[in-house]
Every structure is written in C-alpha cells, then in structure tokens.
Amino acid sequence: MTSSAQRVSVTSTSSQMQLRGRSNNTSSDDTNHLTRRVVSSSTQQHVLETPIASSLSLHNQDLVDVMFELQPFQADSLADLAFNMALGGLIHPLHENELKHLRKENDGIYGPRQWDTPFLSEKLPFTFFSLPSPVAIQKAIRNDIGGENYFRFTSSYGSSAEDAAAIIELLDNITNPRFTSPGAIVQMTSPSINHAKHWKPSWENDCMLSQSNVQVTVAPSGQIFELEYHEHYFSTTLFTGSKVFLAFPPHQINLDYMRHTFQGKRTRLTSLAILREMQQGIAIIQKRGQVLLIPPFWSVMTICTETSVSAGFFVATASAFMSRIHNMDLWLSECLFWPTLAQRQTHLVPYVEELARHFSAIMSSDVKQLKPVKSVQQAICLEWGKVSTGKGGEKYENMQEKVGGLLRCIMDDGKRMKIASVFAEVLVRFCEVKQRKSGRCRLCSVRVDELQRVDGETPDGRLERHVRSVHCHFDLS
C-alpha cells in the first residue's frame, strides 16, 4: 500500500511558541499528563523486494481468541470497546488466510509485504540460547532499576513514598500473572537486557538507518496503555505474561481524524472516542516468548491480560524518512502533550538531532543499500524547495521551511545552530558531488556557471555560497 501524505502546515506559530515556552494558550504547564498521547504518520513508500521466506505459524488467531482474552477486563471502558470491536467484526484477526488477501501494492488495505502489517514470531532478537525464566527476568530488572538507569512510573500515586512502595510491590509480583495493583514501569533502561540485544532485519530494501537501545516495560494484569504511535519499526519481546494489541494502519482517514482530534490541543484526551473512529485495525494476542514487530506509523493500544515484562526497541529506515517529514505536524502535536516546557525540549532536541543524523546518512549514501536511498534522495531534492499551493490558494510548507520551523522550536541557541549546520554541510557536499557530473545545482537545477561570481572563486565555491544562501537560509529568529 502506498499512501500520499496530506500536506499540512507543520510548524504553526502556536506550536512553536508552546514548544519554546512563549505560549499564548491559557492551559497550564501543570496539565495532568499520565500517558503519552501520540498521533500517526502516513505510510512510507516501500521498495519491492524478493519475497522473504519466513514463518507465519503464529498468524493463526481469530476474534474469538481475542474476546476470550479481553472478557475478564470488560469493566474497563477501553477493554470493553476492544471486546465489542472484536465481537462486531470491526477489526481483523492476526490470521494469514485473511490478511494475505488484504495486502496489495496499489489498492490493498495494507501493503504487499508481510512486514507491512504487524508480524508475530518466536525469533528472539537477543543472544539468549533460550528464553530466560520469569525469575531470571525478575532478578535482572531488580538489579538494573534505579541509579543511573532511567525509568518512569505511571500513573503516579502523588507522592514519592507511595510510588516507591508500588514499584517494589510490582517488582515482587513479576512472577504472579494475576497481580492487579495499578501502576506500570515504562521506558526503563536495562543494561543487562540491552547488552544481549542482537538483531538483523530481514527486509534490507527498507535500508536500516539506526536501532535504539532497549526499553523495558513492567506492567500488572489489567494495565491498559492508551493509543501510542511511533515513526519507526517497533520490536517488542514479551518475557513474561500476555498482552492484546489493537493496531491501526496509517490510512488517510485515520490520519485525518487524529489530526482533527489532536492538533492544537493541550489537554489529556481519552482514546475511547478515537478508537471508535479508527478503521481496518488488527487484533494481536502476544504470549510469553513471542516477538511482535509493528510497522512504522501504526497506532497501537496495548492491554496487559497478565502481569508482563517486555523489552522493546525501534528501528529507523530510509524508506520511512519522507513520511516523517510529511507528518512532522503530528509529532509536534504529540510533543505538546508533555506538561512542562523542559519535558518538551527534552524530547524535541533528540528528535531533531536524530532527524539530522538520518538526513546526513541518506544524502551521503552512508548506508549499505544504495538503491532505495537513491529514491529518497530524489524525493528530498524535489521537495526541499518546492512551491505548492492548495485549491484555496494557501501555501504549503516545503521541506526546507519545515526543517527551519522545527529548528526554531529549539530554545538552546547552541544546539539549534549546531543542528542547522549539519543540514547545511550535508547539502553542500551533496550538491558539490552532483554538479561535477551535470554542472547544475541538484536542488534547483540552476547552472553553476550562471551563478554570480566572486573574484578567485571556484565553481565549488560558487555552488557552496548558493546552497548556503538560498537552500539553507533557515529563519531561526
């Protein structure tokens, strides 16, 4: 499936002011934020590849299985909605006999590859010879938690003493599948588990750019995580317990509804209304020892049907890069749900730094698979300075303006200028290489010998001055 990205103004004045702390919004920074709220992005263009021989033996679930898993938790409105969506056939089961008919290149509900829908397997992305026992996992988590290893506890009981007691109780009950006391450990850094991570993708034509470190989640039975979204492939391994996922693809109707719901909002909204509108979802049951791979830009709600410990990490690919650019507005809307300015900046700066690193890798061809990268380079050149308008005459931001708007959101002048220089240096080097073959600027096609000359300036020097002044003139005020 290929999906054209909706053109929207990414970095609105309101978003920039709130991210940089100059808010004209009456909402307080003390907004109650217990669960991250995120919005989705449009599906990346895939490069066709030779079919991959892989086991789909776990893709044999049906909606009756899903309802059986969810039935004990129907007292919760989200779990009850998920149950009734399965009961009414409003979601698809993870069953290959059904999904294979929905995967088509141009007019399918999902993309043509197995990796374009959630993929469940037992191939662990770790160096373990066998799955560690729940007791071994419990010991590793106890050894790693705290100190320099980051984690969050959600939802807070309101005091550090109560939170600490709840965390200890949760850790003590990792081996108890029916433990139900509220509160989960999320985004936990675990050196023990991270050092054992060893994973190589089987879809090389997507062109992997980076893998994140492992983050561990420890959650009680009955814990429900509201709708989450990630721009990258997300791999999550379940070490203990069981879970049910509702995963929704980045179809335009889903994106439009999420934009309408989230953009410009600063208050915590329930997932209940959103889930009722999302379409073509897939329900997945994950058991201990299974690995679930979620494609980029899918929105996922997770229900822990037993006390669980999971380890997840992200994989960024070149094929998804332009979709990240197209839908930057949704990421910024998500970032605004962090309650304080410091938290927004803490998430914003690494996001922009990663974007710059991936931009550099793509434009420098500093990756193993060059064929898919070439198409991404072409898309970047086309959209960097493109001028386009809507039916009503409204002007859409091009890629240069989107990057500039994103940079303006960074409060730290030094970090902002440093990241801006990465984009500029990469484009200068890229255009220098290309002009030696064509004699033109790769971004706007102007002939280098027609550029204004300065005494003693080489063709490369003229081109560099042109690229910096025209194509990298970010308004950072």
pLDDT number for residue 398: 93
Residue 172 CA to residue 170 CA, distance in Å, equals 5
Question: Token pair for residue 118?
Answer: 């959630």
Write the CB contacts of 395 (distance below 8 Å, at least 6 apart in sequence): 387, 388, 389
- The residues of the chain scoring below 70 in pLDDT are 1-55, 204-205, 263-270, 368-370, 477
Chain centroid to CA 24: 29
pLDDT number for residue 206: 81
pLDDT number for residue 116: 92
Written as one letter, the residue type at 397 is: E
pLDDT number for residue 38: 34
Domains of the chain: 32-317 (2.60.120.10), 343-471 (no CATH)
Four-residue CA torsion sign, 154, 156, 157, 162? positive
pLDDT number for residue 249: 95
- C-alpha angle with apex 88: 82 to 91, nearest 5 degrees? 60
Residue 268 CA to residue 38 CA, distance in Å, equals 11
pLDDT tens per residue, range 264-320: 565 445 577 788 889 999 999 999 999 999 999 999 999 999 999 999 999 999 999
